Amino acid sequence: MKNILNSTFDTQHQSAPFNSIKTEDYIPAIELEINKTLKEIEVICSNPETPTFQNTLDALDKSGKQLEIISGILFNLNSAETSQELQEVTQLAAPLLTKFQNDIRLNKALFIRIKAIYEQKEELSLTPEQLTLIEKEYKSFVRNGALLSSEDKDKLREIDTESAQLSLLFGNHVLADTQAYELHITDKSQLSGIPETSLNQAQELAVSRDKKGWVFTLDYPSYVPFVTYADDRELRKKMSLAFGKRGFQENENNNEELILKLIKLKKERANLLGYNSHADFVLEERMAESVLLVNNFLDDLSQNALPFAKKEWEQIEDFAKNKLGLEELNKWDTAYVSEKLKQELFDFDEQILKPYFPLENVLNGLFEIVNKLYGLSFKKASNIEGYHKDVTCYEVFNENGLFYALLYTDFHPRPTKKGGAWMTSYRTQNESQRPHISIVCNFSGPTENTPALLTFNEVTTLFHEFGHALHGMLANTKYSGLSGTSVSWDFVELPSQILENWCYQEEALSLFAKHYITGASIPMEYVQKIKNAAQFQQGLQTLRQLSFGYLDLSYHDENVSEIKSVYEHEEKQVSKLQFTPSIKENCMSTAFSHIFQGGYAAGYYSYKWAEVLDADAFELFLQKGIFNEETAQSFKDNILSKGGTEHPMKLYKRFRGAEPDPKALLRRAGLIEN
């Protein structure tokens, strides 16, 4: 019987036929496509003609497209709609795909052809995109061992295979610990302070689990409101400790040894390729270019933020002591006290905003904003399959009414979905096909009495992920390998982070912030309060992000072999930038999925790096108007549509007219003394 995964999908826009795919289809399909692709590569290598861009690079970029689609479906579903069976399949698929990648990157005949083209690239009259592609491919081969001896190539294969499996296992462990915990409460008096919408969700979750009362979990929409608003300090402590224990308990999900193995493997790989550390290896291909530059960047930000953070912490301590009777603050107190302080300082409780942010309104408003900026329109496609009943698919059309992309949205938590929010793709764009993009979030869901109402933080998260989606949907390059988000890791957050700025603008909010019952627009006094609160505790928030950046780099520098204890190493790195005492039962690293599973190893600093870019870029929108057509067109033409076709600084300067001003971020965050 023919495997549906091994042929072009006979569906509208060749969308993934999720309902027809069986778990047992993946491995046979992957094995078949690997063999097909290796034969395509063999045709390239055995071509007797002199290597040219067309017969080598063009052909290479077009190879393995079905394999890319199959593996994309598998690994995307493992994150968004997983099962024990699917996790087992990904564990089988990971080494197959790693071996396949190595079979290509360590193919001597293919590298000889690419090297020949690379060495004469200046004489070949190539377009900027073609020049970028040949440089990227040549470096990719070298950085994946093409110049190594046979013995070292075999060693590299072993390292890559083991690393891929360990990374998958890391994520599975975090998800397992997250799903294993629940806080079940039957006494309503213990729920003082918790918002009504959170209580309704907790009550419905209890019913779904055949329990009386309320159930809270470690999923963000349940966890964050609990530790922010629950008056019961002991219960906040209980939840906080459970959250901090993920991957750090004496059970089969413990990630400590796994982390030590992963960081040593990464260093071993870097050393094999001639680099002192994994960070040196990674940063060579980033905008930042070196460990020294990144450390200087982090140091400069921390020096600016630290004085503000100290004052903010003193303010929190004074408030906690004098208004709440708390003598000593712990990690389970900070969100709670900060929220109470914000309410007093700004006469502002973020819960009053939620009725103005029903998810459907926010999404439609976002569609309208994107239409004003970039001419895109969105039409719900009820005849295109999703992978879960919560998934909605939209056809996306450009300003000329032509089909431009598919967009899948998946907004609410469930036991089969990992935490957090992300954008991904099921099909990349190239000169002959338009992309299929997906955004996945974990927002508060609807209840029996209310639609899904978002917190303001969830609104900004939606805009953030939609910014990534725009990078994918508006991609307009010739080659898949340079399309959409295939850019330097410290450039990839610019499109996402800049879109968050519209959430703070009255002109944008007026399009979608309307009360779900009355339809009344959000009062302008609330908008002003959002703006006033935007700089609240920015010193502390900045230090928190920087501590993650420092911790990430420390796991990937040349001294990783000296790390014997994950907990002790983390403590040494972050204690200088935190104000609450450490907790022996908790370790952030063991659930730090960004760097141990999500590809951010030696790259977490990029969030702050991209904040500098987005703050500087948005200043131009503020000067010209947030819906200024010329500015939006320039951002679309030079950033969103160009992917990785040229060096990111070239693209940025073409849009902005100059390199980014680091002080733009400090100005926006209020971290410059006036």
CATH label of the domain that carries residue 518? 1.10.1370.40
* Whether residue 367 sits in one domain with residue 424: yes
What b-and-e string marks burial along 496-512, b requiring 16 or more CB atoms within 10 Å of the CB?
bbbbbbbbbbeebbebb
What was the pLDDT predicted at 673?
Answer: 60
DSSP string, 218-255: SSHHHHHHHHHH---HHHHHHHHHHHHTTT-SSSTT--
Residue at a domain's end among 147, 166, 189: 147
Residue 626 lies in a domain: no
pLDDT of the residue at 674: 45
Torsion of CA 222, 224, 226, 230, to 10 degrees: -160
Give CA 605 to chain center in angstroms: 13
**Amino acid identity, residue 194?**
I
**Euclidean distance between the first and final Cα of the chain, in Å?**
72
Quote the strand ranges of 282-435, DSSP E. 377-380, 392-397, 403-410, 422-427
123 and 185, same domain (yes or no): no
Say how far apart CA 598 and CA 274 lie, in whole Å: 24
Read out DSSP for 191-202? GTT--HHHHHHH
Amino acid identity of residue 555, one-letter, is Y
Are 511 and 382 part of one and the same domain?
yes
The CA–CA distances, whole Å, from 580 to 8, 215, 334 equal 55, 28, 8
> What pLDDT, on the 0 to 100 scale, is given for residue 348?
81
- Residue 17 domain-assigned (yes or no): yes
What distance in Å separates the CA atoms of residue 275 and residue 254, rounded to the nearest whole number?
30
Burial 89-120 (b: 16+ CB within 10 A, else e): bbeebbbbbbebbbebbbbeebbebbbebbee
35-88 tens-digit pLDDT? 999 999 999 999 999 999 999 999 999 999 999 999 999 999 999 999 999 999
Query: 430 lies in which domain range?
Result: 354-534
**Residues 77, 197: one domain?**
no
Q: Is residue 83 part of a domain?
A: yes
CA atoms within 13 A on the CB side of 419: 22
Whether residue 639 lies inside any domain: the answer is no
Residues 116 and 203 placed together within one structural domain of the fold: no
Tokens representing 544 are 């928190």
Task: Mark whether 49 and 127 lie in a shared domain.
Answer: yes
Considering the domain architecture, whether residues 87 and 199 belong to the same structural domain is answered as no
The amino acid present at 464, given as its one-letter code, is H
Task: Name the β-bridge partners of 185.
Answer: 214
Q: Establish if 617 belongs to a structural domain.
A: no
Say if 216 falls within a structural domain. yes
Indicate if 465 belongs to the active site: yes
CA distance 337 to 321: 10
Q: Whole-angstrom Cα distance, residue 455 to residue 355?
A: 9
Among 244, 262, 293, the domain-final residue is: 244
Using an 8 Å Cβ cutoff, are 408 and 391 in contact? Answer: yes
**Inter-helix orientation angle 291-324/331-346, to 10°:** 70
Q: How many domains does the chain have?
A: 3
577-592 residue pLDDT tens: 999 999 999 999 999 9
Q: Is 291 a member of any domain?
A: no
Same domain, 32 and 137: yes
| 84 shares its domain with 16 | yes
Least Cα distance to 72 among 423, 328, 411, 371 occurs for: 423
Series of mean pLDDT values for 10-residue runs along the chain (674 residues): 91 96 97 97 96 96 96 97 96 94 93 96 94 95 94 95 95 96 97 94 95 96 96 98 98 98 97 97 92 95 95 97 95 97 89 94 98 98 95 98 98 92 96 97 90 94 98 97 93 96 95 96 90 91 96 96 96 93 96 93 94 96 97 98 95 96 91 69
- Distance in angstroms (rounded) separating the CA atoms of residues 403 and 13: 9
Q: Are residues 363 and 412 in the same domain?
A: yes
Looking up tokens 């045709």 gives 43
Q: Which candidate, 472, 444, 463, 469, places its Cα nearest to that of 512?
A: 463
Q: What is the CATH number of the domain that holds 104?
A: 1.20.1050.40
Dig out the tokens for 357 from the structure: 């942010």
Say which of 268, 339, 465, 493 is annotated catalytic.
465
Share of the chain above pLDDT 90, in %: 92
Structural domain contains residue 366: yes
Last residue of a domain, one of 482, 502, 534: 534
- 237 in the same domain as 188: yes
Is the same domain home to 131 and 185?
no
What's the pTM? Answer: 0.88
- The pLDDT value given to residue 531: 85
